[in-house]
Structure 1
C-alpha cells in the first residue's frame, strides 16, 4: 500500500493510472470491521481502491471531543494493507485547508435536524471536507456506511446538487452480535458502559412509539440527545458519560 500525503502527490499518481476506475473510502481512522466492509465493497467494484484517513477538526463542535477521538494510524495502516487497499491518502490540516476553512459547503434543511440540531456547524465541516476529498481524488465511486445515514443523505444530495461525477454508494451498517453498531467511538466507552451500550439498538428497534423509546433509554441510564423518525427510519443519538453514540433502524 502506498501512502500519499499531499494533493499534488496524488495528482502525479493519478496521471499514471490512466482510465482505471478509482474507488474512495473516506475515514477518520480508528478503523473497525464496518470500515473494512466498505474497503471490500470498493475493491470489488473498482480497479484502484483508495482510503483516506483525516481527523477533520471542522466537523467537531466540541474541542474535547476532537481531542478524545481515537487515533490509531499504525494499526489502521496494517488493517488497510491486509484488505488489499492500494493507496492511503493521509493529508494534514494545512493541505486540506489552505484557506483555514474560510470557504465552506452548507446545506440548509436536513443538516439542521437530527444530529445537526445539537451540533451546530457539524455538517458544514463534513460536507466541506468530503467535497475537498472528492475534488482531490476524483473517484469513480465513494463509499459511506449507513450508520451515519443522515450524513450519507447529505453527501449524496451535495454530489447531485453540484453535478459531481462521483457515484455516492451507501453500504449496510455493521453490528456486533449484541446489535451494537460498530463505531470508532465505542473504544472510548468504559467497561460498564460497553455492556450497557447494546440496549440503544434494542430500544430503537423495539417498534415502540418514539416517546416510549426515549423513556426506555433514559430508564436504562442513557442521556438522550434525540429520538426521531425521518425517511422511514428511526434515528437516535445518546450519551453514555461523555461518549456520544448514534444509530438508526428502518421502521
Structure 2
C-alpha cells in the first residue's frame, strides 16, 4: 500500500508524533523502526502522544535483543518490551516466527489500544504451520508435561522446545512448553494452571529478566501460586557484537541453559 506508507526519515520521535496525530483522526497506524529506536528513543512520545491519549498506534520494533547481532550494543534492545509494559492498557507482544507475526499483526489492526510488537527482521526458524490460530493475550501449549513448565517467547520458543527434548531424552524429565507471545495482557490462567500442575517454572526470553517476561511471571506467581522459578534471559548486561549463535552462548540463552534451569527448578520443589 504505497499510498498509505510514509517515510519519516531518521526521526523516530517525530514519526511517533505524526502517527499519533493520524490516529487521532480515526486511522489505525503502524510505526516501524529498529527496536532500540522504537523503544528508547521515542518512548516519551509513545507514552504521552499515543498511550496517554489511548490511541491505536501500533509500534513494530525489529531486530530485538541478540538478533541485532553485528549491529552491537547500541542497536541491541534488551529493554524495549519493558518500556512499553509501563504504558497503561498497552499491548506488548514478542512473536516467534512469520506465521505468528502475520496472524497477530492482523489482530492488532483491529485493536483500539496502543501496542508494541517485536519483529524478527532476519531469517528465523518456523515454529508454527501455516494457518495456525493465535489470540492476543492467550498463550499456546506447544508441549504437554508434568514435571516442569518452560515458558518462552520470541526466538527462545524454539530453544525451549529443544530443551524439552533434551530433558526427555537425557533425564526422562517431562517438560511442558508454553509460548506466551503476549506479555501484556498476560495469560494468567494458563500460567497458573501450569504452575499448579507441574510445581515449578522456567522462563526464557531474549530480554532483560529483571523487567520482562520473567519478571511478569514472577509477579504473578508470588501473588497467586508461589512455586520455584528460574529465569533464562539477559542478566543485567549490555549488548555486544557477534553472530546470533555466539551471542546466544554468551548470554546463556541456549537449549542447554534452559534444560539446566529446569533441573535446578525441579530440585527446589518442596
Q: Would you say same fold, with TM above 0.5? A: no
TM category (shorter chain) comes to 0.3 to 0.5
